[in-house]
Structure 1
Amino acid sequence: MNIEVSKKNIKETRTRNEDVPSLSPGQIRVAIESFGLTSNNITYAVMGDLMNYWQFFPVPEPDTALWGQVPIWGFAHVSESTVEELEVGTKIFGYFPMAESFVMTPGRLDETGFSDAALHRSKLPTVYNRYAYTTKDPLYSEAGEGTLMLLRPLFITSFVVDDFIVDNNFFGARTMLISSASAKTAIAAAFLLAERDDIKVVGLTSEGNLDFVNGLSCYDEVLTYDHIEELKGEDVVYIDVAGRRDVTHKIHHHYGDHLKYSMIVGDTHWDNEEFLPGSIPGPRPTLLFAPVQIAKRRTDWGRDAFEEKVADAWHRFLGWTNAWLKVESVAGADEITATYGDLLDGRIDPSVGHVCRFLDA
């Protein structure tokens, strides 16, 4: 079974059952055990065309142009194999379709994992094509599987947000302003930035999430969106996780030349399409595409050193999440699609993370 989303209206979903194809030489089939479902997946759907997320797991013809599979991060095990190095039962973590099973073409096998060498993925960012053996993954622990599924993909983005800003010497600013401050990507970025010397982290959130965000220890100051005019007129970097055009407009006009960089990270408020005519003062809002910075740092530091830095930061962050994150289970296609709808409509408690599985997983 696969869960698919309409590319024209991402609120519309369907389930599709397909025949299990025979494997060709060099292929494996994996059974997807469980996966996290967060606002990160909403970003994948919203930016499916712009960032090519629909291309990772295309729906078969004749529906390729109309329907897509939202990528998810989770655990799977090899259920059938024609590859000698990959035994049945091998457990992996990585990027999958929202489905019960998936056929892969492993390549670039080493002691830590492999890449999916399927032809249609050859021109897509390699960071999404890599799968880690849980037995060799420095971030893995059996007890922490739920948190890993929910936060690891978000954390990588947050790690890159922090590193990109550091790599650019904070763009000359000492204040970091983050929208959608209750989103887990924002929280992780705030946590890492708060560790930096002499850096002030300010969060913007809705009235409904204000108490939750204030209860976190990673923001020096928290304001709601209707109090933007109260922000101090100091040099600042804006990290846009919300994707709200009206907020971006207010931030740019409030800070003017004091806004040193405007970074687009996500689109949690995916349905905010208010048209804002004319130019806005300050720097042009720029989309952060994490794989580019990851590739740069793997060149700068080497792959192993990059992974070590991520692992060190992850373990610091992981211990802190126990104080506020609650993991809840979701089972079956109906509950999964209902949770996806709740995420779209903003009805999810920010302190909750959902771990999903199909009933037969």
Structure 2
Amino acid sequence: MSDGWAIDIDRSDITRAKLVPDPAAPLSPGQVRVRIDSYAMTANNITYAVFGHPSGLFGNDQGYWDFFAERDRPGRLPVWGFATVVESTADGIAAGDRFYGYYPMASHAVLAAGAVGPGGFTDVTPRRTTLPPVYNNYQRIEALGDHRAEHHDYWPVFRPLFLTGWLIADQFEDEGDYSAAQILIASASSKTALGLGFSLAQRRGPRPETVGLTSKANVADLAAQGIYDRVIAYDDILTLNPATPSALVDMAGNGAVTRAVHSHFGDRLKASIIVGKSHWDAEAGQSALPGPERQGFFAPGRVQKRVADWGGGAFADRMAGAWLGFMAIAPRLARIDRRTGGEAALDAYREMLSGKADPKAGILVTP
């Protein structure tokens, strides 16, 4: 096979990224080589880059750079997508098999297949064995009960982000909404936020009001989607009633917005949850904030809790029902923006890193 490409990122400076050749080395027993067919580039990937270094997110000393590169090598950014096996030395996996899962930002990847079965396999590369299972599972497309051909391109773009939003909504319900009467959702045009707003709206019975916070230019378009009960501009946060018990979900880590909300509501802010850090170069806003201590949300941990609570089958069924409901409206929330080849992939990363990517587009890279 012809040599592929990969994008190397400086582990200490995520603005330094370059396209490099990625020669195909011989496989060891139990490995598979896949051709990455398509993957999404979203703000979530920038969060992965920001937390690339070991930070305790996984309950040990590992970070996102450890998925696809050894510690002494440049980082390879994880992305969600589809891939086809082109070579296999693993029993139960053959060339032509297709899988959905977590891949490096590259044209190809080599995975170590363990626990191979009808539904897929688990990557058992030693450095990955202590990482959350949700990141190491590769699912056969044919085994995905809620995969529909017409939704195929939306899976990489929306699936992991919708899952995160759905899990946040589940946590709010589980926690009695933290006694909040309204939930303020910052970066409300982001795909994770849309998943959260949609999931909260589906709840039966009383629930808090959802207030989407976004830039002034996005207010009218976002309000027209009907995802949130209200949409306001960041500049209008101070017009909200400061006596209303509220909760904040911060999707992007914009310190100025966080400070404005905490300062405005003070002790009436019942919870402040940070989900992502796509505003990686913004002031963190964490010093001496009034109100509650900020808490991080880590989707894989919530998945593990709910699988333990409900069982794997019940979790999958609930997720499938929610996902298919969301897919009924997803095409009007974002159009697919296709990019092809290594240079285009590098440009897409830089565009997302700059914060200038169109939130109404879903960037889908075809290596």
Aligned residues of 1:209 and 1:350 also touching (Cα < 8 A): no
- Distance 1:276-1:82 versus aligned 2 partners, 3 A rule: closer
Instruction: Measure the CA separation in 2 of the matches of 1:257 and 1:178.
Output: 18
Q: Secondary structure at the match of 2:8?
A: strand
Residues 158-197 of structure 1 aligned to structure 2 (within 5 Å): 158-196=165-203, 197=205
1:322 shift after superposition: 2.2
Residues 76-95 of structure 1 aligned to structure 2 (within 5 Å): 76-95=83-102
- Provide runs of 4+ in structure 1 moved above 6 Å: none
Instruction: Measure the CA separation in 2 of the matches of 1:163 and 1:275.
Output: 27
2:42 aligned partner, one-letter code: T
Instruction: Measure the CA separation in 1 of the matches of 2:8 and 2:151.
Output: 28
Question: Do residues 311 (structure 1) and 315 (structure 2) align?
Answer: no
2:206 aligned partner, one-letter code: D
Look up the match of 1:342: 351
Question: Do residues 256 (structure 1) and 266 (structure 2) align?
Answer: yes
1:141 shift after superposition: 2.1
Aligned residues of 1:182 and 1:212 also touching (Cα < 8 A): no
Q: Secondary structure at the match of 1:334?
A: helix
1:269 shift after superposition: 1.7
Unmatched 5+ stretches in structure 1: none
Look up the match of 2:14: 10
Q: Give a deviation string over 1:149-208, Cα, whole Å, max 9, x none.
A: 100010111111111111111111231110001111111101111222333100111122
CA RMSD of aligned residues (A): 1.4
Match 1:283 to one of 286, 292, 297? 292
Look up the match of 1:143: 150
Residues 97-176 of structure 1 aligned to structure 2 (within 5 Å): 97-176=104-183
2:68 aligned partner, one-letter code: F
Match 2:224 to one of 215, 230, 243? 215
Look up the match of 2:65: 54
Aligned residues of 2:258 and 2:285 also touching (Cα < 8 A): no
Aligned residues of 1:178 and 1:201 also touching (Cα < 8 A): yes
* Alignment: residue pair count: 353
Q: Give a deviation string over 1:59-83, Cα, whole Å, max 9, x none.
A: 574xx2xx21110000001111112
Question: Percent of aligned pairs with the same residue?
Answer: 36
- Distance 1:298-1:274 versus aligned 2 partners, 3 A rule: closer
2:249 aligned partner, one-letter code: I
Instruction: Measure the CA separation in 2 of the matches of 1:120 and 1:274.
Output: 31
Aligned residues of 2:116 and 2:122 also touching (Cα < 8 A): yes
Task: Indicate the larger mover: 312-321 or 4-13.
Answer: 4-13
Q: Give a deviation string over 1:104-136, Cα, whole Å, max 9, x none.
A: 111122321111011110111111000100001
Q: TM-score, normalised by structure 2?
A: 0.93
Aligned residues of 2:19 and 2:343 also touching (Cα < 8 A): no
Task: Indicate the larger mover: 163-172 or 306-315.
Answer: 163-172
Task: Indicate the larger mover: 45-54 or 156-165.
Answer: 45-54
Q: Give a deviation string over 1:193-239, Cα, whole Å, max 9, x none.
A: 12223331001111222222122211111111111111123111110
Instruction: Measure the CA separation in 2 of the matches of 1:232 and 1:353.
Output: 35
1:216 aligned partner, one-letter code: Q
Q: TM-score, normalised by structure 1?
A: 0.94
1:57 shift after superposition: 0.8
Unmatched 5+ stretches in structure 2: 58-62
Instruction: Measure the CA separation in 1 of the matches of 2:146 and 2:279.
Output: 30
